Structure 1
Amino acid sequence: MDENDFLESTYSCFAWHGTSEINANNIKQSGEWKESSPETKWLGKGVYFMENNKFWACSWAKNGKHKTDNPVVLKTFIEIKRKSFFDMTNDKWYKLFLSTRNNLIKRNIIKKDEINDGHVIDYICKIFDKSSSKYPIKAVKNIRCYKNNNFPSNFSNSQIQICVKDTNIIKIIKIEKC
């Protein structure tokens, strides 16, 4: 498979979104998702999912920034063309991220002490949207690792997160209790 064939191929996965039961029912009925706030520092503005991992989505719903007493997860299926998928586990996308970040600092578009990864990713998404409506970025993926000295293994305490920018790529399967 050459690179063009790869970019035309589809990426798909199961992904879980942790939230409250009330929010999950509203999302399932209306199909409307609430995006993260613009100050998000991780993968930028969008709707966050844990790829292939219900446990972490439940953990977020129970203990995260918007923790809830009645946590559930929306089990979803995400399907996207790779050319619209900013996959930071891929070296080309990661290099684009790093060079853009460095250029934003060098050109004083964003001050070094004020820059965060989410701003850089949102900037790249805007560039793709303006320059190529044929290939807008619809989702961003990266691995997030947490250091936990209480973790009883050499394996990292990590998550694969997807930030969806275009909610049309999400298919809700069901609501599950945590």
Structure 2
Amino acid sequence: MDDLYLERPNLYIGFHGCEKENGLKLVNEPRDIISSKADHEWLGKGFYVWENNQDRAWDWAKNHKPEPFKHPFVIGVVYTLGTCLDLTDSHFIDLLSLNFESLSDDLKKLDNKNGLHKLDCAVIEHLHETCEEFDSTFRYDSVRGAFYEGDVAYKGTEIRRKNHIQVCLRNMNCIKGFFLPRC
């Protein structure tokens, strides 16, 4: 793939589910962004948004695991993808598959129980490390993926009730601002 098409400069709107106190702090103090560093994040380490899907952000905030938020809250996020590892693009899926093959022996030791997505996180994080070792100036700013979740919407279909596009922002400069959504 030509590097020309790695950059995704458009502005996007997303939603971030969180504890109310943390959401209000981001709106009022947008420079204090805290990224997730957990090893069970689907798309690796970073700041997560639901692409243009306020309902899924609310659902996640209200049903947060392993412990529900005391005061679930959703804020809006305006962002760009920058240089994006886009898992809706076959080029990047092939890249992850190749990376998985080189990592497969180490992954056998990984506990991927309870739907915690540790395997996805490990493969994606390994790809980031491999890219950065190969070229110390190269970084993916974001990772984007489509996920099919939930019950079937109606009989005879693969459309699921909780389908969504999720974005992991690794470069906080991709975040242009936060806002309180109009409900």
Tell me which interval the TM-score lies in, with the shorter structure as reference length.
Answer: 0.7 to 0.9
Specify whether residues 152 and 161 from structure 1 end up closer, same or farther in structure 2 by C-alpha distance, changes over 3 A only. same
Find the residue that maps to 1:40 and give its secondary structure: coil
State the partner residue of 2:77.
76
SS of 1:140's equivalent in the other structure is strand
When residues 70 and 136 of structure 1 are mapped into structure 2, their CA distance, relative to the original with a 3 A threshold, is same
Shift of 1:112: 6.2
Who is 1:24 aligned against?
Answer: 23
Indicate conservation of the 8 Å contact 2:8/2:84, yes or no: no
Of all paired residues, the percent bearing the same amino acid is 24
2:116 corresponds in structure 1 to: none
Runs of 4+ in 1 over 6 A off after TM superposition: none
CA 1:71–1:9: 2 relative to 1, 3 Å: closer
For these two proteins, the number of residue pairs brought into alignment is 172
| 1:145 to partner: Cα distance | 0.9
Tell me the CA shift for residue 18 of structure 1. 0.7
Change (3 A) 1:12 1:129: farther
Matched, 1:156 2:155: no
| 1:132-147 equivalent positions in 2, closer than 5 A | 132-147=135-150
The structure where strand makes up a greater share of residues is 1
Partner of 2:107: 110
Judged with a 3 Å threshold, the aligned counterparts in structure 2 of structure 1 residues 169 and 129 are, in CA distance, closer, same or farther, namely: same
Contact 2:30 2:178 in 1 (8 A): no
**For residue 169 of structure 2, what is the amino acid of its counterpart?**
V
RMSD: 2.4
Shift, 1:45, TM fit: 1.5
Ranges in structure 1 where 5+ consecutive residues have no aligned partner? none
1:113, CA displacement in angstroms?
5.4
Distance 2:125 2:110 in 1: 18
Instruction: Give the Å deviation of 1:33.
Output: 2.4
- The answer (yes or no) to whether the contact 2:81–2:169 under 8 Å persists in 1 is no
Match of 1:170 in 2: 175
Residue identity matched to 2:77: T
CA spacing shift, 1:40–1:174, aligned 2, 3 Å: same
In 1: Cα distance, 2:98 partner to 2:150 partner? 27
Instruction: Label 1:9 to 1:122 Cα distance change in 2 as closer, same or farther (>3 A).
Output: closer
1:25-57: per-residue Cα shift (whole Å, max 9, x none)?
222315222322432141111111100111111
Distance 1:13 1:30 in 2: 17
Secondary structure class of the residue paired with 1:176: coil
